[in-house]
Amino acid sequence: MQRSLILPALAVALNLSACSAVDWLVYKVPIQQGNLVEQKQVDQLRVGMSKSQVNFILGTPLVVDTFNPDRWDYVYRVAIGGEITKEQRFSVFFRDDKLSAMSGNLKPSAATAALELAPSQN
């Protein structure tokens, strides 16, 4: 009697633990989402640039705020296995359709330090 119950119980236990036992063997594809903005692109930005010039340098923004069309957000994320491993945020602000400020993970280099920096907004 007991021997006939041991084998099915052992099979159930092995099946339940199988998923977690080989989890480290399974390759998880890195998933990249959003717009990657690089330092060299940020260094090309100048106060007074038009929206089309900024769009040419940075590309189409991931998010254009419906309630504030003078703010463009560029968000970039890398997730592996559902866990975010890298996240970068960069925002540009316009006044009268001209670039007035920017904020985020990237800052202008010393050559472009004249650009007004907006306070970090998360």
Quick: pLDDT tens for 18-49: 555 566 778 888 889 998 899 999 999 999 99
List the domain range (segments joined by +) for residue 55. Answer: 28-112
Q: Rounded distance, CA 68 to CA 119, Å?
A: 17
In a domain, 5, yes or no: no
**pLDDT at position 21:** 59
In a domain, 88, yes or no: yes
Give how many domains the chain has, as a whole number: 1
High-pLDDT (> 70) share of the chain, %:
77
In a domain, 15, yes or no: no
Task: Tell me the mean pLDDT in the region 3-16.
Answer: 70
In a domain, 9, yes or no: no
**pLDDT at position 111:** 55
Neighbours of 101 (CB within 10 A): 16
Residues 58/73, Cβ–Cβ less than 8 Å? no
The CATH number assigned to the domain holding 102 equals 3.30.1450.10
Q: Rounded distance, CA 6 to CA 116, Å?
A: 72
CA-based R_g, the chain, Å: 25
Q: Is the pLDDT of residue 122 over 50?
A: no
